[in-house]
Amino acid sequence: MKKIGILGGIGWPSTVEYYAGLCGLAESRNRVQGRAQIPEMAIESLDLAKAEMLVGNDGDEGSWLAFDAYHRAALQRLERSGADFTVIACNTAHHRLTQIERGLAMPILGIVDAAADACAERGVREVLILGTRTVMASNVFRETFRQRGINARAPAEERHRQMVLASIDALSCGHDDGASGCIRQVIVESGLHQANPAAAVYLGCTELPLAFPAHKHESLFEVSGVRCINSTALHIRAAFEYAVMDA
């Protein structure tokens, strides 16, 4: 099996889910002499406060240089540790994945590609993106969905975007603080209809599925009658399947 690198800490609750999720998938797979074969893993944990401070502004490429360098240096450490590939446990960093991964020989599995592929397979044609401000504004994310025939948009109202951001802040610190209720309200008020089977919500922050603990391991689940795409669960499964490929 391939050794998995996890770039995490941004934030820490979802990093825990990546490690636990990968081990859980291994436990449910074939066992050798009664014990599961769990892929070797290395975790490089970043400082969320520093990562947030380094977030740049689109249109000013220079403003992103420190953000890119901070993540790239961590990936290089994972590469030196012997990781065969890496997952970044953070949607925001994937907005800059093309720039961050420059110079790296080690493959990095993209989270938005895994989610967009899952949407296309399920006939989704309209996606509401919930995530950090960077993710909700990201043309990179929209284009990834568009390439698969899916129209992706963020909540139109600033009030709804603020509710999502507040939920992420709480979940990133290991608290709920009414996050599930806020997310439900945003979904209901954002114009997605239960009767539209081609619509879905992209939980585009790896902490957001933690607002629905009963569903956090499910790739797809419903909230207020609307399908939710769990980017965290999809990314974890993609990493596990890549790790055991040809094993």
Q: Which helix (H) or strand (E) holds 62?
A: none
Q: pLDDT tens for residues 104-116?
A: 999 999 999 999 9
- The verdict on domain 112-231 having CATH code 3.30.930.10 is no
**What is the rounded CA–CA span in Å between residue 27 and residue 149?**
36
CB of 170 closer than 8 Å to CB of 179: yes
pTM score: 0.92
- 136, burial (CB in 10 Å: exposed 0-12, middle 13-18, buried 19+): buried
- Please compute the mean of the pLDDT values over residues 148-160 and round it to a whole number: 94
Pairing between β-strand 4-8 and β-strand 226-230 as defined by DSSP bridges: unpaired
Tokens at residue 16, please? Answer: 């825990």
For residue 227, give Cα distances in angstroms to 57, 61, 116: 31, 35, 14
Tokens at residue 65, please? Answer: 């240089």
SS3 163: helix
CB of 218 closer than 8 Å to CB of 210: no
Q: pLDDT tens for residues 165-207?
A: 999 989 888 788 788 899 989 988 887 766 677 889 999 998 9
- Higher per-residue confidence, 223 vs 241: 241
- Please compute the mean of the pLDDT values over residues 51-66 and round it to a whole number: 95
Percent of the chain topping pLDDT 70: 96
Q: How confident is the model at residue 79 (pLDDT cuts 50, 70, 90)?
A: very high
Per the DSSP assignment, residues forming a β-bridge with 102 are none
- Please compute the mean of the pLDDT values over residues 68-80 and round it to a whole number: 97
Q: Which helix (H) or strand (E) holds 8?
A: strand 4-8
Write out the residue limits of the CATH 3.40.50.1860 domain(s) in the chain: 4-110+235-244, 112-231
Nearest to 7, CA basis, from 88, 78, 82: 88
- Please compute the mean of the pLDDT values over residues 123-127 and round it to a whole number: 92
Q: Which fold has domain 4-110+235-244?
A: Rossmann fold (3.40.50)
